[in-house]
Amino acid sequence: MAEKGSMDRAKYDFKKAMQEIVDLRGRGTELISVYIPKTKMISDVMAYLRDEYSQSSNIKSKSTMKNVQGAIESIMARLKTYKTIPDNGLVLFCGEVPRAGDQTRMVQYVLEPPEAITAFLYRCDSQFFTDPLQTMLLDKKMYGLICIDRQESTIGILSGNRIVVSAHFESMVPRKHRQGGQSAQRFERLIEIAAHEFFKKTADKATEVFLDRIQDMVGLLIGGPGATKDFFVKEGYLHHELQKKVVDTFDTGYTDEYGLKELVENAKDAIQDIDLMREKKFIQRLFTEIRKQDGGLSAYGEDVVRDAVNMGAVEVLMLSENLNKRRVTTKCPNGHECQQTMKESPDRCQCPECGANAEIIRDEDLVDDFFELSEAFNTDVEIITEDSEEGEMLMTAFGGIAAILRYKV
């Protein structure tokens, strides 16, 4: 079975919509945001909105009042099409935003968020209220962190850019210098026993902290000043599931909270490589095919790839996250229905066949268009960021659209 893409269509659409919404500003305090959790009755929301509608008649500026009321009406009309609220809740943004000249246009976004909304919220402001949704875009992946030497150990979690300390231990292991009155050998043995106990204690705590979350854990990073960290990894103190996640050991000067920061800093390249490995793997496969004398099982360029997708010949479709293009379908009075790809949503369109003014009957994000084409053929669609050199090359050298084929076309 093909592995599922790292970013599916729902997540891509959500991310794109958020990018647009965040930048929108109203002329006045007239952009409305409504967050509705699953538990809320639609009839209650309607009653709330009716109340806001009547209160808005107190707004001094006539144009603001008109726009607020228009937005509330539009939201209510949209809500009427729902029988129940979806599992993760519903978020609606609606209002008039400026366009060229003195004009405004009404925008409306209805989002089903990727995570559940917990509280009902209504807000009217000069911009849309998106804070609760921003955190949903954050990566939930995390790394385990352990810093250790014979004196001290610290366990923590890295998620996003945040480091959280989970546990900190100081050992009872005496430093290795001669103690008067005791035989050196016996003293050495005691030290080793104490160290062993300390390593075990640290490893047990690591199991407690990490094992429940191992699904989300991308890797485990081990840091410390000397050889102890390598000894700790090599001697198998860690739970076998954690042992499998060890990325590498990294030198740090400290083993406390500051040591965890050093560890993340020093492991930066390794972390970035891992995060982008999946994306890089696909592009590298593409390059391998392209390098073959007959072009192998590669395809690139929008038209060529589109044809291959429509034939069901594409195994992996790679699309740059920042394609930012529209697929527009038009219909002219002479009956031509045509599709074209454009840089942005057009206000009006000419028929590519006969040049007559044509009606725009569909206007959607190019990536979404490809998602739809691919659905019927079990094609794996991969959204590729420009965070790696390979990802950048997909955008600059291949226009952001390429494919690995199942067979030559």
The residues that touch Zn ion, with contacts defined as CB under 5 A, are 332, 334, 336, 351, 353-354
Question: Could you tell me the smallest distance in angstroms from the CB atom of residue 332 to Zn ion?
Answer: 3
The least distance separating Zn ion from the CB of residue 363, rounded to whole angstroms, comes to 18
CA 146 vs CA 176, 200, 310: distances in Å: 23, 13, 50
C-alpha angle 257-261-266 in degrees, rounded to nearest 5: 140
Q: In whole angstroms, give the CA distance from residue 268 to residue 8.
A: 26
Beta-carbon contacts of residue 14 (< 8 Å; ≥ 6 apart) = 111, 113, 114, 136, 137
Closer CB to Zn ion, 236 or 355, in the complex: 355
Of 42 and 338, the one with the shorter C-beta distance to Zn ion is 338
Residue (of 268, 399, 408) closest to 343 by Cα position: 399
| Smallest separation (angstroms) from Zn ion to the CB of 338 | 7
Q: 313 or 332: whose CB is closer to Zn ion?
A: 332
Question: How far, in Å, CA of 329 to CA of 107, rounded?
Answer: 21
Residue type, position 383, single letter: I
Do strands 326-331 and 337-342 pair parallel, antiparallel, or not at all (unpaired)? antiparallel
Positive or negative, the CA dihedral 305, 311, 314, 318 is positive
CB of 339 to Zn ion, least distance (A): 13
Q: Which amino acid is at 185?
A: Q
Smallest separation (angstroms) from Zn ion to the CB of 276? 45
**Contact criterion met (CB below 8 Å) for 241 and 211:** yes
At closest approach, how far in Å is the CB of 53 from Zn ion? 44
The least CB distance from residue 293 to Zn ion, in Å, is 43
Task: Output 284 or 357, the one with its CB closest to Zn ion.
Answer: 357
Q: Which is nearer to Zn ion, 285 or 336 (CB)?
A: 336
Contacts of 221 (CB under 8 A, 6+ apart): 143, 144, 145, 146, 158, 247, 248, 250, 263, 264, 267, 270, 271
Q: How far apart are CB 160 and Zn ion at their closest, in Å?
A: 51
For Zn ion, give the closer residue by CB, 59 or 351. Answer: 351
Question: Given the complex with Zn ion, which of 40 and 336 has the nearer CB atom?
Answer: 336
CA torsion through residues 250, 251, 255, 256, sign: negative
Where residue 256 falls (left for φ over 0; alpha for ψ -120 to 50; beta otherwise) is beta
Distance from C-alpha of 365 to C-alpha of 405, rounded to nearest angstrom: 23
Closest approach of Zn ion to the CB of residue 340, in Å: 12
- Beta-bridged to residue 316, according to DSSP, are 380, 404
Smallest separation (angstroms) from Zn ion to the CB of 360 = 13
Q: How far is the CB of 353 from Zn ion (least distance, A)?
A: 4
Lookup result for tokens 């500003």: 25
Tell me whether residue 203 or residue 332 sits nearer to Zn ion (CB atom).
332
Cβ proximity to Zn ion: between 125 and 353 the closer is 353
Number of helices (H) and strands (E), helices first, in the chain?
A: 12, 17
Q: Give 29 or 329: the residue with its C-beta nearer to Zn ion.
A: 329
d(CA 382, CA 315) in angstroms, rounded, equals 11
In the complex with Zn ion, the residue whose CB is nearer, 101 or 335, is 335
| 254 token code pair | 């400290």
Question: Taking the alpha carbons of 339, 344, 349, 352 in that order, is the dihedral positive or negative?
Answer: negative
